[in-house]
Structure 1
């Protein structure tokens, strides 16, 4: 009798606990990140018109696509350390206002110099947003529940790519020549403004922590605080100076560098790859480019939920990354067969995004305190150098060889090595 009563009470506690976290999840910043990620996607479509209008080469475009990450990397760690001092709301509002204005200002690009400068500044102003939100999520969720909400936030990447492709293509074709502006001018203008408007919404509704959330009751706040305290990793790092001496953190950073390199090269170059494969209509390219990201959304949801349910992180990130490399190899050798190549790219993209979503549950569980603020930003900073190097390298190889084949094989190597690196990096306690 007592045992049954105890079980019933435990079930009720679980139901109430689930209700609290569902309530929190409804407040996540998914919509804000969708517009942040658009500035990664729209540059690939702008290239279809902009390259000829302002006279930039394949290599210059690759450099400009990647230089965004150089600015991002240089200012990311300071941004996250400042966030830990002044709070999430002020930090994210500042970032969203500046990136929205700079993204819209891309319509003023008129030569190579202005293209490179604005792309660099876009990275500078957006620095800290993604790692800031990843850190912010750790204030609200214990490690055992972190993969699914992290994946929900990360869904913004493939969602923006899936929606942004057709939308960008439509703007570029429907508004081309309106008021004397080219289609790519209108695309940058219209896709930057929503981020500015959303910054005002964030300022009004965002709470820095559960304790400051007016929409949580006292019992709900206490429950979240107990769960996070219970989930504390005694083997994890607490201070940023410990992070700087930890080889595991650099192992994660290197693996993330390789994974991101493979992912972002596809994001920036997919429209060009489709165009080179014989797809002539900009609108058709936009629709085709949405398919891999629709598959990515499914993979991210399935893998993150399974990872939370089984309490395993490392292999749920490593195996999809390796699978992504295998299917990218298939795409590299079938570029003359559009249907087969697109299927392989879709599977590769889905697996790489799935790996990416689960990956961030590992450092978030391993690090806490100022170690989390600086460490997450450090891993992301080193990793995003892959976003700088791989698009530039792909552009250089395409210009040198006249095809995408060699560049795609480089991506194969990066994805395979990234997956092997994640599998080999065993963090203590809660990464498995």
Structure 2
């Protein structure tokens, strides 16, 4: 790891590639007229660090992204207010990117008839620019990707030039602040939040940072609260005191009061446009503890990793590129897939396979991309290639089990589940 990478990791916790960091520093050197990278780093100030961080944490989100999480949250809020009508429910969105997620939370609860006096959303992001944009409440066409845009007519007014502004009735339900989860002071916020949304942040952390972040989130969440993650992050939460919520495709979690983990349940799969898999360097997908293997596995959607995705796409490497560039191809493929750019993501996978024809992970991502585009047969073929090359690829086995169930192949699904369960046990033991 270079000194610049170490510096940015210390500041953000993010596991950033050398290419991304070098590109950001080059940009800032041009802006500050620094003679060379060493001189630039020596002259680093808090203000310049903020500017540098802005270049490596590029948020990508939109309204009503992965709606099942919001549906599960609404059920939870209704149930809580059913027993305590006068209660104020506190909800946390971190990272909040440009505000699309916290505003969606406020719109969903408002549309569900939850009184404004009964909920408040706190939204944090490490980027001051993101927070400023969120506070402005003005969004362009790219933020409105849901199939049903009736919410836009209800909760926004035209701001001219094709932009829309969130209505004040929704804006007043969200409080935006700049902040880094890893630096949160928990003294006044232990057990403070009834619901926490932290989707697709951990995928950019190494294992120690992931553990520290989950510890912070666990402390912030009430013992009987709910947390919503990106589906590739569910396994990490389950390794650190959480258990999956039984709500299909919501990727929700509860604090785990039981000690031992059970058998794997849902391959809260990678993150590809419905969630693209995490960058290799940041990935730590064991497998979530869950219900017995006889329980049907809910099929994870393949839209995009959750909200507030931080992305920095690495350019395609040329033939003959060194191994690090090849690894960047897969990281870029996941991020492009998360942005919904299936063709570009597929090209990155194929470029990677041109260099590494036996890459199980590339075939796995291609399977996800084909599932996303409703080509289950091709997805199945790619996942079979994946487990041929890597027989213990847990997520690929889980996806194949889901396909077998969808095709009414009960015995095939049972065999794949049992195989995945054995792999999960071995991973947990090691």
Q: Greater share of helix residues, 1 or 2?
A: 1
The alignment's TM-score, normalised by the length of structure 2, stands at: 0.23
Q: Greater share of strand residues, 1 or 2?
A: 2
The alignment's TM-score, normalised by the length of structure 1, stands at: 0.23
Kindly indicate whether structure 1 or structure 2 has the higher relative contact order, using CA contacts under 8 Å at least 6 residues apart.
1
